[in-house]
Amino acid sequence: MIEYAQSKPAYGEIEVETIFDTQRNHYQIVHFGWHHQRWIHQGVIHLDIRNEKIWIFCNSTEHDVAEDLVNLGVPKQDIVLGFYPHFMREMSDYAVG
């Protein structure tokens, strides 16, 4: 996850913050700051570990986080695309949840 936090938006005065709660298994990357005169606060990536599976709840990057996890050796059956409804997860190569 740290690698994803290295990418800072090219626009505005945006900060990148990592929020890692290792006791409760919540991991997030958030962008916040000013773009022109507008406040930006956006969750960019949100992962949780639940029931020994990695749940991806948000990924608004150009990276395929699920595929990156597979390339790191995580089996597809241990990854849940939590941003999809249950019926769509059944059609993916990943875990249903």
| 63, pLDDT greater than 70 | yes
How do residues 1-54 score in pLDDT, each as one tens digit? 678 887 777 777 899 999 999 999 999 999 999 999 999 999 999 999 999 999
CB 19 within 8 A of CB 44: no
Residue 14 tokens read as 């945006």
pLDDT number for residue 1 = 67
CATH number of 4-89: 3.30.310.110
What gap in Å lies between CA 33 and CA 13, rounded to an integer?
A: 6
Residue 31 tokens read as 């962008």
pTM of the model: 0.89
Residue 17 tokens read as 């913050």
| Phi, psi angles (nearest 5°) of residue 30 | -125, 140
Strand partners, 34: 13, 39
